[in-house]
Amino acid sequence: MMTSFSSQGLLLLAGLCFLLPRTQTTYHKELDNDPSIDPFQCRKVAFTISNVSISLYKEMAQKSRNGNILFSPIRVVAAILMLSLGVKGNVSQHILEALRFNKTGLPEAEIHKCFQYLLRAVNQPTGMSPLKSGGSMFIHQGLKLVDKSVKRIKDIYFSEVISTNFSDSSSAKRQINNYMMKKTNKEILNMVKELKKDTFLALMNYIIWNGRIVSDFECQFIQMEDFHLEYRKTIKVAMVTNVDMYHLFRVEELSSMVLVYGYTLVTYIIIPDKGKMHQVEERLTYPHFRQMIQRLNLRIVKVHTPVLSVSETSDVVSMMSLLGITPFFNKEANCTVAAEDTPQKSFKVISKAVLTLENMGTRPPMDLCLKNELWANAPLVQINRPFLIFIQDSTNYAPLFLGRVANPRK
C-alpha cells in the first residue's frame, strides 16, 4: 500500500563570484595543491557561516512571516568580509566577532584564504554548469583603493573593481544596471532601484541557477496541481511528478518531513506539518542538519515538485544590521577604501538570487510508469505547501543557499 506524505520540496543550487573561464581550471588546481590551505580548517569556516546564516534567516523570517526568503549564506558573508578589507583595528575585530569567526581560532588572513578555497566550489565555467554567478565593486571615480585591497578583492573574492561617477546618481544607476544586465545575459534587470547622491561604493553580486528536474527511471510527467499558500489560499502551478532516489525521513523535533538528495551539492528540503512553519523556523539550528546526515536512507520516492521561478534581492547592509554589524566606512574605522576628504558617505551592497526549476523530458501521465512494480509502493511526497531549503557543497560543506519557498511562482 502506498504511503502518502502531504509534503513539498525543491531543488536548487547557488554560487558566488566571477572568474574568467580561461583561468578557472588552472586556478582551482593551484588551490587544491596550495599547502597554505588546510581543508579541515576551512570546513570550520564553512560550519561557522552555516550557523550565522541560520541566525540571520531567523531574523529575516520574523520580518517576513509569509513571503519567500532566499539568499546565499556564503555570498552574503563573503560580501561583508570583502568590505572589511578596507577597515582596520577594532572595527575589523568587531566584524569577525559578529560573524563568529573568532570562535574558529583562525587568524584573519587564514579566514580570507579559506573563502578563496570555499568559493572555488561554486565558480563553475558558464558553459559547463547551469550556475551563473559574479561580483563587481563600483567605486566613485577619483577615490583610491589600496593596491593590496584591490588584489585581494580580485584574487580572493573573484570580483571586479569598476570606476563610477556617483555624483550623477541616475547615470551611475544606469551604468550598474546595464553592466549587470550584460553580465547575466539579461537574466537580471534593474538590479539597483535607487542610489543616494553621497554614495561612494556599490557592491553587486548575483547567483542564478537554472535547474532541471530529471528522473533516472524515466518516469516523469507534468500536470497542474494546487499549491497551498498561507491563509488557506491556493494557486494552480505546474507540478512535475517524478520517480527517483531520495533520502526521506521525519524529524519529530521539527514536526517535519525531510527530503535530501544530491551528490556534489546536497539539497535539504524541510516540509513542516500544516501550520507549523513558524514553529520550525524558531527551533531550527545548524546542528539539525548535522544530525540529518546520520539519518540518510536512500530509497525510491515519488515526488510532486512545482515548476519553480523564485527571485529575491537582499540588501546586505540591512542584513549586517541584523547581525549586529554597524556601518564601518568612516574615519573611526580608519578606512583604507576611500580618500579621507571625500564627501561621499553612503554605500550599497546588493545580493541577487534567482532560481528556476523546470521539467525535463516530461511526458503525459502513463499508468504503466506509475504502476511499475519497482516503485508501485514507494512513498509519495507532494511538494504543495511552503517549505524550507538548505543547499551545501558536499566536499567542503560551504552553505550555498538557504530560504523559505512560500510561493513557487514569485
**Exposed, middle or buried, 340 (CB in 10 Å: 0-12/13-18/19+)?**
exposed
Residues 19, 151, 119: CA angle, nearest 5 degrees: 40
User: Is residue 9 very low, low, confident or very high in pLDDT (cuts 50, 70, 90)?
Assistant: very low
> CATH number of the domain at 4-12+212-308+357-405, out of 3.40.190.10, 1.25.40.10, 3.40.720.10, 2.30.39.10?
2.30.39.10
What are the start and end residues of each CATH 3.30.497.10 domain in the chain?
Answer: 21-207+311-355
CA pair distance 268, 391, nearest whole angstrom = 6
Whether the per-residue pLDDT at 73 is higher than 90: the answer is yes
User: Is residue 29 very low, low, confident or very high in pLDDT (cuts 50, 70, 90)?
Assistant: low
Burial 259-298 (b: 16+ CB within 10 A, else e): bbbbeebbbbbbbbbeeebeebbeebebebbeebeeeeee
Picking from 7-11, 79-83, 212-216, which range would have the lowest pLDDT averaged per residue? 7-11
Nearest to 217 by CA among 78, 61, 373: 373
Whether the per-residue pLDDT at 15 is higher than 70: the answer is no
User: What distance lies between CA 79 and its chain's CA centroid?
Assistant: 12
What are the start and end residues of each CATH 2.30.39.10 domain in the chain?
Answer: 4-12+212-308+357-405
Picking from 122-136, 151-165, 167-181, 378-392, which range would have the lowest pLDDT averaged per residue? 122-136
The cell for 17 is 563570484
Is residue 314 within 8 A of residue 348, CB to CB? The reply is no
Nearest to 159 by CA among 19, 354, 15, 333: 19
pLDDT in the model for residue 249: 95
Helix (H) or strand (E) holding 93: helix 89-98
| pLDDT, mean of residues 54-76 | 93
Please state the length of the chain. Answer: 410
CA pair distance 122, 206, nearest whole angstrom = 12
pLDDT digits 0-9 by tens, 207-250: 888 877 777 777 788 889 999 998 789 999 999 888 889 999 99
pLDDT digits 0-9 by tens, 299-351: 999 999 998 889 999 999 999 999 999 866 655 544 544 444 455 578 899 99
- Calculate the average pLDDT of the chain: 82
> CATH number of the domain at 21-207+311-355, out of 1.10.10.10, 3.30.497.10, 1.10.3720.10, 3.50.50.60?
3.30.497.10
Query: Which residue do the cell numbers 584591490 mark?
Result: 150
pLDDT in the model for residue 368: 62
Whether the per-residue pLDDT at 124 is higher than 90: the answer is no
Whether the per-residue pLDDT at 360 is higher than 90: the answer is no
- pTM here is 0.86
Picking from 18-32, 55-69, 284-298, 359-373, which range would have the lowest pLDDT averaged per residue? 18-32
More confidently predicted of 147 and 382: 382
